[in-house]
Amino acid sequence: MNIGFIGLGIMGKPMSVNLLKNNQNVFISSSNDDTNDELTNYGAKVMGDYGEVAEQAEVIILMLPDSKEVREVVIDSELYKKFNPGTTVVDMSSINPETSKEVFNTINPDGHQYIDAPVSGGEEKAIDGTLSIMAGGDEATFNKIKPLLQYMGASIVHTGPVGSGNSVKLVNQVIVANNIAALAEGITLAKELDLDLNTVYNAINGGLAGSTVMDTKFKKMSEEKFEPGFKMKLHMKDLNNAFESVDKDFSEKIPITSQMKEIMADLLEDDSVGEQDHSALFRHYTNNKDYRQ
């Protein structure tokens, strides 16, 4: 099967590598020469532009930052008019569910299918090929492309019709954000009590406090080093999508998330924080206001 992969950033590049390691035919086009060279070494075929990628592909995987980019790449540029007959778009971007429906309604009349399949797990699990994948769309199409998803993820769930994958992802992002805030407050308390943080981690990680968030974010917070595995500005984007998907007064029903979102928005007034890992939420609890460290 020929796969076009569009969106080769922090997440997309290792995801495409896992496809290539499993002997899949992957066609790419990146403006980053280093990315092209690296993926060529794994066996990717580099094309001149996204149109050439589409012309080679039976399945097109998208891993783009937001709804705007997905709409621009597929609809505004009329890339879908270059699709081969019966092309399936597997959109693994985390976007507004309404945008997923818009893309589906644009390409489906021409006989193309669309699966919205956002992921959770960050760069670490993208590299390991153990992402959680939430996939919405036609069930027969989902079953057809599921073997490809299994090269990139360990948990793959069909969530319902188009848009439901991204709806489930919004729930995921609310829970993850609040877990990050809870972890930050726990570490803040541990520091105030003058505890050894490694000991704290080893003592509590096997109990109810243990989580994937703790496994992947504890060290970043304890060392205050926030190289991005998932950028804070992208998490804020997901939270904005969540709040935009419900009535305005719904925020009163999720007050903890509303408060956490305000904290994140305050941190993001410094643009450099948006490029850091979302665990940089811990900055809110420190006296260190130099977010660029």
Burial 190-225 (b: 16+ CB within 10 A, else e): beeeeeeeeebbeeeeeeeeebebbebbbebbbeee
Which phi and psi (to 5°) does residue 248 adopt? -60, -35
Amino acid, single-letter form, for residue 13: K
Show which residues are catalytic. 169
Q: Which of these, 56, 48, 55, 70, lies nearest to 26 by C-alpha position?
A: 56
- Residue 275 gets the label, from left (phi > 0), alpha (psi -120 to 50) or beta, of alpha
Which phi and psi (to 5°) does residue 27 adopt? -110, 130
Strand pairing report for 131-136 and 119-120: antiparallel
- Residue 160 gets the label, from left (phi > 0), alpha (psi -120 to 50) or beta, of left
Separation CA 238–CA 117 (nearest Å): 14
Contact predicate 135/149, CB 8 Å? yes
CA 290 to mean position of chain CA atoms:
27
Other Cβ atoms within 10 Å of 98 Cβ, number? 14
Question: CA geometry: angle at 178 spanning 250 and 119, to 5°?
Answer: 90
Separation CA 94–CA 117 (nearest Å): 8
